[in-house]
Structure 1
Amino acid sequence: MTLHLSWIGRRLLLGLGQTAAVVLLIFVLTEALPGDAAVALAGEQPDPERIARIREAMGLDRPAAERLLDWVTGMLHGDLGTSLVTGRPVTGYLSAGIGPTLLLAAATLALLVPVSVGLGVLAARREGGLLDRTVSALTLAVHAVPEFALGVLLATLFGLWLGWLPPTAVGADPFTRPAVLVLPVVVLLSRPVCTISRLVRAGMVEAMASPYVAQARRYGISGRRTRWAHALPNALAPATQQLARTCDWLLGGVIVVEALFVVPGLGTVLIEAVAARDLPVVQGMAVVFGLVTVLVNLAADLVARRFAPRAEVAA
């Protein structure tokens, strides 16, 4: 128990260090962006004196170290800053965009587990058979296609040519018109399903050849029960760890998919803020994404320790 608490303490300290590094890195990278909100607000033919006045009014002429200190102090009090373009609090952008993003991510995760496990189990039923080769070939091919290219292909085919689904979410509320999320969810599912299903398939093949499964068969247990009750739980360990990592990957995927299908979520807000050089919004969104990434990685470490405690103790 003491060792377990010590391990958790080390991981929490590591997470705090990662969080501090993320905050500093985000500030440095956003400072390195060409131009700023003052240039964006000045128009296509900006007057240098007007830009200087706007920059002074926004406080952009202050030293970077001073602005970093104010930003970090505000975050410690729950204040992520104020938009330079609209004057709205950054937390307002978060509350406005988090609903569609959470809905999109939740729908993806809800479908990811049954689809991945189902495909993996089906492929493992007849190792080397037609179904196994077909599933393996399809998952390998789909995994090789970038999300952006797959999204354009699906939107063109099902949205524009066939007219079965909305090609974008422009002017639609995802909560009242969930059809606009079908294509984005399919794109987000494409790579994780391929990866996790192949892990489940490999684990099932190994588990079905194990002594305990052979013993279950000798006891007259049906093949269906053997697969689902005995082999599958032992085949899910590596897939469960990959699922935790997939939650981390979804952050980047959501930004790309929301931009492609114009879903009004956090990814769209972030891209618009980058285009307007609205640094407080960019920094606030990036910090939220970074914190979620750190927390997900900590959760993934807990999952890895749960299924491989000896390796963690040795570490």
Structure 2
Amino acid sequence: MLRHALRRVLLAVVQLACLAVLIFLLTSLLPGDAAEVQFNEQAGLGEVAQLREQLGLDRPPAERFADWAGALLSGDLGTSLVGGTPVSEIVTGSLTATVVLAAVTAALLVPLAMLLGLAMGLRAGGRLDRTITAVTLALNSIPDFVLALALVAVFSLKLGWLPSTWLGAEGGQLLSRPVLLVLPVAVLLARTICTLSRQIRAGTIAALEAGYTVQARRLGVPRTRLVLRHVLPNAAVPGVQELARTGDQLLGGVLIVEAVFAIPGTATALIEAVQSRDVPTVQALTLLLAAVALTLNIAADLVSERLAPRAEVLR
């Protein structure tokens, strides 16, 4: 297990290094730069060139990449090209709302998906299974932005029950105003809980049909103990693996949710940085999101091995 964990961590480091090069190349291909964006169309070429020189944008790309990579290895994310503030402050300031939103979503996602998956798997083919399957398939077919706009139209504009935006709210106020979280979390849960619960359903059915479960029933093991001790750990394996992919989907869903509900989070900061061609901020936020995705995948892989150690034997 330890050797496998070290291999995965080393592989993640290599992936992040390759991604850093790719991010730098892609940001270099963006039309225009921060100097052009900060000046209006009436600015002279001399003024733009002077600002470009001040920002260091006139240097060769290889030199700029070497400076950025060296600073990154020392923990320095650089300085924003817009405003001159440290990129670390921008990243820290945008994390609060995103972390709160993701934490609340994950705290609700896992138990709800487990309950729905077990309920469907233990009664496979029954009325409850067919009903939940129909609802989850319908929700899974609706794009996030369509669902977000529909919920805003119904619960905010028509009924007036819930706020439609986070404008005026700070990340630290969210836990004291949980009503702000209802619609964004509902959008993030809608599709992710569908795929995760169906994976747990499939794992539950497979575990119930396994030989060890059949033998346990023959020996008279009580149903509750059978489900908790034998079915649930093995049914959770595909669910944990799906949870890593769900985490990747959440990163994309957060981008849409933050845009629709005007949430001052990481995705919003990334969009603003791209629009202003604030390359150091774009690079830092993109690497941060990639590191989170890799961490989720590594954690899911290790948890899956712990739940099903047979995978290590087969390897």
TM-score higher than 0.5: yes
In the alignment, is the contact (CA less than 8 A) between 2:233 and 2:307 conserved in 1? Answer: no
Question: What displacement does 1:126 show?
Answer: 2.4
Question: What displacement does 1:216 show?
Answer: 4.4
Whether 1:24 and 2:21 are equivalent positions in the alignment is yes
In the alignment, is the contact (CA less than 8 A) between 1:245 and 1:300 conserved in 2? Answer: no
In the alignment, is the contact (CA less than 8 A) between 1:259 and 1:271 conserved in 2? Answer: no
Whether 1:126 and 2:106 are equivalent positions in the alignment is no
Corresponding residue for 2:286? 286
SS of residue matched to 1:236 = helix
Deviation string, structure 1 residues 114-143 (Cα, Å, up to 9, x no partner): 110111122223221221111111111211
Q: For the residues of structure 1 that align with 2:32 and 2:313, how far apart are their CA atoms?
A: 49
Query: Which 5+ residue runs of structure 2 have no aligned equivalent?
Result: none
Query: Which 5+ residue runs of structure 1 have no aligned equivalent?
Result: none
In the alignment, is the contact (CA less than 8 A) between 1:36 and 1:277 conserved in 2? Answer: yes
Corresponding residue for 1:255? 255
Aligned residues: 312
Deviation string, structure 1 residues 228-265 (Cα, Å, up to 9, x no partner): 44322221111112123323332222222112211111
Question: What displacement does 1:167 show?
Answer: 1.0
Do the aligned partners of residues 101 and 275 (structure 1) sit closer, same or farther apart at CA in structure 2, a change above 3 Å counting? Answer: same
Whether 1:99 and 2:96 are equivalent positions in the alignment is yes
Question: What displacement does 1:293 show?
Answer: 2.2
Question: Which stretch has the larger CA shift, 166-175 or 181-190?
Answer: 166-175
In the alignment, is the contact (CA less than 8 A) between 1:100 and 1:175 conserved in 2? Answer: no
Question: What displacement does 1:176 show?
Answer: 3.2
In the alignment, is the contact (CA less than 8 A) between 2:234 and 2:307 conserved in 1? Answer: no
Amino acid corresponding to residue 199 of structure 2 in structure 1: L
Deviation string, structure 1 residues 184-207 (Cα, Å, up to 9, x no partner): 111111222111111111222232
Do the aligned partners of residues 128 and 5 (structure 1) sit closer, same or farther apart at CA in structure 2, a change above 3 Å counting? Answer: closer
TM-score, normalised relative to structure 1? 0.91
Corresponding residue for 2:30? 33
Question: What displacement does 1:76 show?
Answer: 1.3
Whether 1:78 and 2:65 are equivalent positions in the alignment is no
Question: Which stretch has the larger CA shift, 54-63 or 11-20?
Answer: 11-20
Deviation string, structure 1 residues 116-175 (Cα, Å, up to 9, x no partner): 011112222322122111111111121121211111111111111111111111112324
Question: Which stretch has the larger CA shift, 180-189 or 208-217?
Answer: 208-217
Question: What displacement does 1:220 show?
Answer: 5.0
Amino acid corresponding to residue 300 of structure 2 in structure 1: A
Corresponding residue for 2:150? 153
TM-score, normalised relative to structure 2? 0.91
Amino acid corresponding to residue 65 of structure 2 in structure 1: L
Question: Which stretch has the larger CA shift, 65-74 or 174-183?
Answer: 174-183
Corresponding residue for 2:306? 306
Question: What displacement does 1:9 show?
Answer: 3.5
Q: For the residues of structure 2 that align with 1:105 and 1:271, how far apart are their CA atoms?
A: 18
Percent of matched pairs sharing the same residue: 50
Q: Report the RMSD for the aligned CA atoms in angstroms.
A: 2.1
